[in-house]
Amino acid sequence: MKIRFSGFAVGLAWIALISGLNSGCAGYQLGPTNGLSAGSRSISFHPFRNETLIPRLDVPVNNALRKRVQQDGTYQLVTQDEGDIVVSGTILSYYRAGITTQPSDTLRYRDYRVTITAHVKATDQISGKVLLDGPVTGSSTMRVETDLPSSDRQVSPMLAEDLAIKVVTLLAEGDF
């Protein structure tokens, strides 16, 4: 026994399928979510200062912030002059928390949860309004292979990337 569908029934099935797929994406929006058009405002970064005991931690943080702004596309990155929004910050802390120990030595940690906290301030140069002024934390997991200082150097780009994602998300999704 074969079931036959009329052209009208097949057409209705396709319409139902397409409208069902489209309604699943109803909460998503292309481009910036703060009401601005992409690239309509510019942003510049003053180099973040490093107040931790980890040397040169500011370098990957400053690089990651600029890279993340370019990838996000909400703001146009300005490197020569002051942008419409100026961001500055200070890296305040670098903290390691042991997660797992070495299998052969339970007094030494093998894996750490590493966090950095930066105080970030973003100011709208046009209105003078402070858009962001507070701590932002980035984190990552680190495995110690040889020694702790070289592991710290290897994890710093990942920490910086996580921090940059959070800073740029706060700026891009802000209600300014």
3 assigned to some structural domain: no
Q: Which residue is associated with the tokens 């961001």? A: 87
Per-residue pLDDT of 15-71, as tens digits, reads 666 666 555 554 444 445 555 555 578 999 999 999 999 999 999 999 999 999 999
CA–CA separation, 45 vs 47, rounded Å? Answer: 6
Instruction: Report whether pLDDT(176) > 60.
Output: no
CA-CA distances (angstroms) from residue 24 to 18, 31, 35, 156? 10, 18, 22, 38
Contact between residue 167 and residue 48 where contact means Cβ atoms under 8 Å apart? no
Contact between residue 84 and residue 124 where contact means Cβ atoms under 8 Å apart? yes
The fraction of the chain above a pLDDT of 90, given in percent, is: 55
Domain count, the chain: 1
Per-residue pLDDT of 86-100, as tens digits, reads 999 999 999 999 998
Domain that holds residue 148: 8-172
Strands 85-101 and 130-143: unpaired
Selection from 16, 122, 114, 13 nearest residue 57 by Cα: 114
Q: Which residue is associated with the tokens 């680190």? A: 142
Three-state SS for 53? coil
Instruction: Report whether pLDDT(7) > 80.
Output: no
Secondary structure letter of residue 130 according to DSSP: E
CA–CA separation, 53 vs 37, rounded Å? Answer: 41
Instruction: Report the CATH number at residue 73.
Output: 3.30.160.150
2 assigned to some structural domain: no
44 assigned to some structural domain: yes
1 assigned to some structural domain: no
Q: Which is it for the CA torsion 92, 90, 53, 103, positive or negative? A: positive
pLDDT of amino acid 105? 81
